[in-house]
Structure 1
């Protein structure tokens, strides 16, 4: 397995991870005929989930979703009983109650995240106006709004700032967690790739190793005659009529060796290994 192929697999995994990543609190509409309608899905800790329809009975909840997505809240409608089809994955919100003025769905009242008594047949949906959200024209001290009376700018800022700050803090925390998870994933894949490269290189080196033999000696029988026999002194101890005597093998005559064996080659191989 080549290094280029491993890097290619790593890039595919990173691209897939980045494609499915999302920020906690982010919402989207799925399975609708147009982009401004569909099943409500919300991201929690990088995972998309659905919302149960318990208490999803007024259009105030739909207005919050439409506002968060950048659509006008005029004509926003809420739907229950998986009107836009059943989703998959976790059900992350239940008993959601909004006043209609919240900046995001997590600012509404609800059960603790992940707590519910529903199944996906109760997934909620919304339909928003296709028009973008209209923002009031503000002068230095007042805002001229076509749908409500003029309000003081300081009051508007005071009520909007907490939600904005909370949403920004949650987004930053989610981004940090996502970056750490991505870094850990890259480190794990890199270590696996290096291990595979080391394994295949070691295996290739072992397969290419040639057998080695050393201390190989070739001799003729004539050369071995005195080396292996005549030069090996053996002492024979004999006793005859109580008389001790000894006789060395060097003084014994050796039997004649046939001529046809003199030129025969004998090979001794010691310590031959692969």
Structure 2
């Protein structure tokens, strides 16, 4: 443990990093507001939010979202921002945010994330939920749609199991 991952910088509400994980694509989720880093509360951190962070950091797909400060407790504030992501956004800035909830969180509730850190992964886009849509594969830093010329129920089952 103790590995500091890649940091993505962009809009004030989209600066994210993973800290104290086993590799660059795992760790405690931290978000920067202004010049201050803080943690996110795992109470609000959904699989869809996690998918966006993995995408943003170019770390493949979500492998797990352990609870209760799995990668240790952070320093600074615990942001109460509730990112409302669909899971197909490229960065947190593309998600809606509901800020400053009434639920109190401590560093014992710091959100944690483990991404696959694979050069390729799969996702569904333009669907009505996270479980339907166009199949896309992430390969070497780029998402591409899968053509359906030879697509069968067997391939669909593999995608559903992976997701």
User: Shorter chain as normaliser: what TM range?
Assistant: 0.5 to 0.7
How far is the alpha carbon of 1:92 from its aligned partner?
Answer: 2.1
Is 1:64–1:102's contact at 8 Å kept on the other side of the alignment?
yes
Structure ranking higher on relative contact order (CA contacts 8 Å, 6+ apart): 2
Deviations 1:113-143 (A, max 9, x none): 6976211111101111122342245xxxxxx
More strand by share: 2
Structure 1 gap ranges (5+)? 1-21, 138-144, 151-274
2:26 pairs with 1:37: yes
**Residues 107 and 68 of structure 1: is their aligned pair in 2 closer, same or farther, counting only changes over 3 Å?**
same
Greater helix proportion: 1
Matches within 5 A, 1:3-82: 24=12, 25-56=14-45, 58-73=46-61, 75-82=62-69
Larger Rg: 1
Superposed CA RMSD in Å reads 2.7
Gaps in structure 2 of 5+ consecutive residues: 1-8, 120-137, 150-163
- List, as ranges, runs of 4+ consecutive aligned residues in structure 1 with deviation greater than 3 Å: 93-97, 113-116
TM superposition score normalised by structure 1: 0.38
Say whether 1:117 aligns with 2:112.
no
How big is the shift at 1:93? 3.5
Whole-angstrom distance in 2 between the partners of 1:105 and 1:121: 23
Q: 2:135 corresponds to which residue?
A: none
TM-score of the pair, normalised by structure 2: 0.62
How far apart are the structure 2 equivalents of 1:113 and 1:103? 23
Distance 1:52 1:61 in 2: 12
Report the Cα distance in structure 1 between the residues aligned to 2:103 and 2:91, rounded to whole angstroms: 20
